[in-house]
Structure 1
Amino acid sequence: MALVVDDEPVTRLMAKLTLQSLGCAPVLEAADGIAAQQVLREHPEVALVLTDIMMPRMDGLELLRWGRRAVPEAMWIVLSGLETFDSAVAAIRLGAFDFLPKSPRKEEMSVAVRNALERRHLLAERERLHRALEDKVRELEETSELLRRDLERAEVIQRALLPRSPPPMEGYCIQAVYRPGQHVGGDLYDVVRLGEHHLAFYLADATGHGVTSAMLSVLFKQRLVLVDAVSGLALPPAEVLAAVNRAICEAHAAPGLFLTAVFGLLDTSDASLTLASAGHPPVLIAREGGERRQVRRTGPALGLAADARFGQERLHLLAGDRILLYTDGLLPSGSAPELESLQQVLASPLASAQDVMTQVHGAMPAGVDRDDVTILLIDAHAGASWFDNGAERPAAAASTMPRPESEVVFFGEADHVAWLALRGRASWMQCDAFHEAALAVLDRGRPLVLDLSGCEYMDSTCLGTVHELVARGGVSLAEVAPSVRAMFEELSMQQVLAAVREDRPAAPELYPLDAGGDQAAVQKRILKAHEALSALSERNREEFKDVVASLRGEQDGQHGQDARR
């Protein structure tokens, strides 16, 4: 439907006939703007308005201003003579699609009308697609909310599969900490008493994240057989893993789905422990006398080959021995320095499973995507046993745990040199204060000595910060603990190693520094430290590329939010 508005009847008739010949029907008429308003009120579905500018009572520009609000979907073409050319330009600025000279030729009007109607169709289609997109977004939001609720329910169900409390076992202390990376995860553990003298335990980790890995871990639990059906005796760990591996291979044939697991059987009658590992990270053992050892995998991961063979190792436990099982989320790279630092934590007889989680896993920088993490700690001595599956631990268990050392960064000044020391386990939480104190010394032009003799462990943020400071100049190192030196060598920190001085001055009295800091500053420090380490070698670049990318993305996102504010 079209409308022709002109005060000259002949011009109006010619325009109407031309529009009809172009397929527009019906074509309505109006002699001026006032009459056109009435027509448009009665026929808001009009698709095209062809109007003159110079008309009595209401001209074309005033009609256009009104019409753009009253019938916003209509397309407008204005007719202009030479004397009203400037008004035609003004009409285009008001929203008219095109203008034609007075008494236009049929070819000119045909092109303008066709383009106007195509434009109207495109705008209508865009609006339709926009509404459809809004509907789809609402649908996805509703679906996302349903999935979120389902995941929360799945988490509740999965936690119900975990043991609630350790079985009593005289002379042994059993502790566990479970933390899923998402609502649900692929980690699973259990500790089961079999008869009077046997304690069976396992820790499994399904590949991947989320619901898929959680269902695979459930399949593992369902297929697990701990005792012989005929004799009722506890099965050896190697046989348990071989049987569950066959069952998993028979239950599914999907490629890329597998589990790693450790299964142990403790016989309290002779204090023997038998372990079998299916592709799992090393089991760490700390002896009372300081000896350390590892039990590495005795067979492949579960679910890869039905005919896989599994071995087992038998140990004799002494009073005070400690056995640590963990999933790979605790040590993402599984490097030798990480294992060494973990064994140092384990060597402390007072370190609980919660301490291990806090000191090792808690040192990872914020913003890094965390995997599922589970720790199972067995001590060959009497003590409080507890399982922490994410809820609050009983007060009795918490009271047996020592508080971690909070004083890590120390500072002091002599006549001509300043000292900074890191003691204990240094992590990203102290690095911002450590870095700012060092810069304050170096900006004054004073030499700085870093004392790392009492530092047992440094995470990657601390390592990168030390490299930055040494590369700046004016920094030397006093003694360096062997475990930290090994980290320097592992990460190709040759400039830092070259800065170690034997002829260091006497150290002044050192005082602890407050390690608090602004969250944004801490995140920036973590990023810069990892960028510094990544630049040292191709191996470092590959090892830290995911961390750097994640931290950069988080920082860019924060900058975007700040800009929008």
Structure 2
Amino acid sequence: MDPSSGPVFLVVDDDPMVRKIVTRGLRQLNPAEVLEEEDGLAARDVLRERSVDVVVTDVVMPKLDGLALMKWAQEHRPGPLWIVLSGLDTFDAAVEALQLGAFDYLAKPPQVPRVRVAVRNALDQIELVRERKRLYAELEERNVQLAQNVEQLQQVCRVLESQAAVIQADLERAETIQRALLPQDPPAIPGWCIETLYRPGSRVGGDFYDAVVLDEGHLGLVIADAAGHGVAAAMLSVLFKLRLKQFGSTGRTLEPREVLQRLNHRLYDMLSASGAFITAAYILLDLRTGEGRIALAGHPPCLLGSDNGAPRKLERTGPALGLEADPLYAQHTFRLEAGDRLMLYTDGILEGGPDSPGTDDLAAGMATVTDRAKLLGGLFERATRGVSGDRDDITLLLIQRCDGVSHFDDKAPPRQRQADEPVSYAPGGATPCLERGAVERHGFIAVVGAVTWLYSQALLDTANTLLAANDRLTLDLARCERLDSTCLGTLHEIVTANPDALELQGVSGAVRGLFEELSMRAVLAHIRQDARPLPENMALIDGASLSPQQQGARILSAHEALAGLSEENRTQFQGVVDSLRSDLAGKD
């Protein structure tokens, strides 16, 4: 770092919104230059050619991830200090980055003040290292003075390390709450059917939808699309739902144009500051007469289909939320007769691959495909055909005036395993869930799909409930696609607490390998080779509704269980345990 010109920073993140937030915070530190790259390969080329003081990098990126970039730099360009950006779902990877020598990590989405604090501390560390080198260079000339200076330097280092620990403990760890905000089950409405399909472009998305029975005769439907996709867009969708929820207790049924105007009023100051916006459509539907009113804030047209003619487009009635201070929103009026359909969607369905459907294709599908799930699934398959990399979030919502069963489909997309994330894979792509059942005083829990920490408390509670009411409990993993470290630790807790009454079945070779890798000997000892048949009427288990404090306590307990199994586990998970203990202690 040249003191006369200022430091040079490098920001590496594939999300333009995150790069913008971080870069804006760094420029307030008066650097000589702030460089930006969207992937690890491009950042590697910059580090070969430029002298960089601090690198702020995401963990999960295409082409070359943040951990691989750090390892390369340690060998070829060891000069810069590293600050890692991480969400809760990549928290273990962030811990590994710290073990590799990263100076700090920031929870995503990053906040400008915390970016500045972390980078200031990194610059202070650079200055301290320079000062230490200068002091060592004077060793032969001033031995006595050196001893005093070294002591002073060590004191400063201890102060900085203490400050870094406080900052680290105070950082908010972004949690994977996007799916928890989506509606879990469709409302049961006689004479009406609702079908949805939700697919984020990355591990979290900026789309949002909901269907809420407002009173005995009215249904509210909403669909929204935050600008961009990924973590930044997901946070905007979280903000949207929180603001929307505030209108649920107004004492009267609001018109769609009123809902959008109030949402815009609440969101404008926050969104305009960052240049973000949200498109949305809100429908108020009379379930008795089929009459409806819709207002669209910069959102793609709604499609109204009938057997009596071509589908009708209901165009936008005002600007996107967050773009203007006091816009006025108009609204359309329509009526759904028996058999009529209404489709809402986000623009990701129109902007996917080269074969993406247009609005006319959506309308034609409504007129010709009678199976609602098949219609939405076919549109998604067409939109993503030939797309192997980054894409936008896609959401489709179809409501029809007819008898039948409603269905919400928000299956998570596949994702790449992180290097230090225990996970098992199996074919099938099932929607993650837990199922329970019992027969002849024998309880059963089936773990289905990609089950993460969000289900860990429900798994523990259900196991305890079934063991209290039955003589034995079987955990069936035959349809399990993935287990994260929190679920693995919880599984170990359940087995060790009930060694005489519990068994596992349907354990694949990959899952058994994970048990062996983590020294889960007690779990391995309870695996049976043959499989007991599951009860016929297995019921879905609702996920436990936990506060952030309770969620943190569950994650901590599971990782404490794993850390105590071996020295290797302790090395791998102790950083997670210490950080969570500090975080929970700070919230007491």
TM-score by length of 2: 0.41
Greater Rg over alpha carbons, structure: 1
TM-score by length of 1: 0.43
